[in-house]
Amino acid sequence: MSKPVREKAVVIGISGPSSSGKTTLARLLQRIFCGVNLKPEDSRLNTFIIHEDDFYFPDDKIPYTTTASGEKIQDWDTASAIDIPFLAQALHYVRENGTLPPRLRSKEDQNDATDSGVSDELVQELRGVVGSRLRSKVAGKDIEGPTIAFLEGFLLFAPPEQEQHVLRSVHDAIHLPLFLPAAYEVVKARREGRSGYVTVGPALEPPVRSSEDGGDGGDGKAGTDIDLEAEDDRPPQNFWVDPPGYVDDVVWPRYVTDHAWLLIAEDGDEDQKDGSQALAEAELVRRIGDGTRARTDVGVEVAPGCGSAGMNVVLRWAVELILGYYLNRMGV
């Protein structure tokens, strides 16, 4: 049995393609775990959600890409659009303090919420299971349970063999990585059915650091630290609407190439697993097919059903994994 750790928060990373149910799952998990009594004397479990979308660079610092048709559009689905050093810094703050930094004010929670398809009865059932098991394990013990932080985002994980990967600092700050596969057809239908997304807005003066002005250089490490204790002074938000063809031109190809190390080709060939970009983007997309098969030997927990399981099944799976990990982390 592992020894209790002194960190004040456990970070659960929930990733997958756009529209795979990451935010929905995170919100359901928070409802189940938040405020659960750990002890009869009313010691309650604290939880919160961290949205990767809250770490986008300002709108005028989002990089551009050229589509197959020659159109130049902004690319919100690349690591270069995310302030990775800021995200990694915030995650370390969470682990050390057990709270969200004051700097982090969510804009993601202003976006449309979708129906989870999960009944209140199931949420209450699982909440009861979590409470009962936690209390039975900590009864009579002088243990302070750490906060649970649910981090959800489309780019969180890095291949284990690549120490210099752009997302390494983020991946290494996650205690338990969960991956939700979703088929191309599902991603396309759901993404194109959305009205749009609230964004940060234009950059302040002087501009927030970016690869263009010598900021993070694309390696996710360099850049000036952000004062996480300061209040959020970002400007009023804008609203982004996907241009026609954005899923096929940007969202799906970016997802496949960024996760080539994790996804398995339709023929079972894993030559693409190191994410070396040896294969052209179009060839990777063709080989991955609907994108529902993921490796289970790289330290990432993959949801059951290859993207076809309902949220009820996925939720039960996630609760069991998180509960087991949390109890082990507490050393009970």
With CA atoms as reference, report the closest residue to 304 among 319, 325, 282, 289.
319
In what helix (H) or strand (E) does residue 189 lie, and over which residues does it extend? helix 184-192
Give first-to-last CA distance, the chain, whole Å: 8
CB atoms within 10 A of CB 48: 19
Calculate helix-pair angle for 311-330, 120-138, nearest 10 degrees: 10
Q: CA dihedral in degrees (162, 166, 167, 169; nearest 10)?
A: 90
Helix pair 311-330, 22-33: axis angle to 10 deg: 50
How many Å apart are CA 213 and CA 231, to the nearest integer?
24
pTM across the whole model: 0.85
Mean predicted confidence (pLDDT) in 27-31: 95
State the amino acid at position 175 in one-letter form: H
What's the token pair of residue 298? 């790289």
Which residues contact residue 317 at a Cβ distance below 8 angstroms, ignoring those fewer than 6 apart? 303, 304
Question: CB burial class (10 A; 0-12, 13-18, 19+) of residue 181?
Answer: buried
Cβ distance 331 to 2 under 8 Å?
yes
Calpha distance 311→24 (Å, rounded): 9
pLDDT digits (tens, 9 = 90+) for 117-165: 899 999 999 999 999 999 888 876 777 789 999 999 999 999 999 999 9
113 pLDDT more than 80: no
User: Given this model, what pLDDT does residue 227 score?
Assistant: 74
- The first and second tokens of residue 6, run together, are 């002194």
> Highest-confidence range of 111-125, 205-219, 258-272, 317-331, by mean pLDDT?
317-331
Q: Which structure tokens are listed for 15?
A: 């990733």
Distance, in Å, from the CA atom of 271 to the CA atom of 115, rounded to the nearest integer, reads 38
Of 149, 24, 47, 25, give the one whose Cα is nearest residue 91. Answer: 149
Tens of pLDDT, residues 293-328 = 999 999 999 999 999 999 999 999 999 999 999 999
The mean per-residue pLDDT over the stretch 51-69 comes to 91
CA–CA separation, 128 and 135 (whole Å): 11
Closest CA to 145 of 277, 33, 21, 281: 33
**Position 266 confidence tier, pLDDT thresholds 50, 70, 90:** confident
What gap in Å lies between CA 155 and CA 18, rounded to an integer? 10
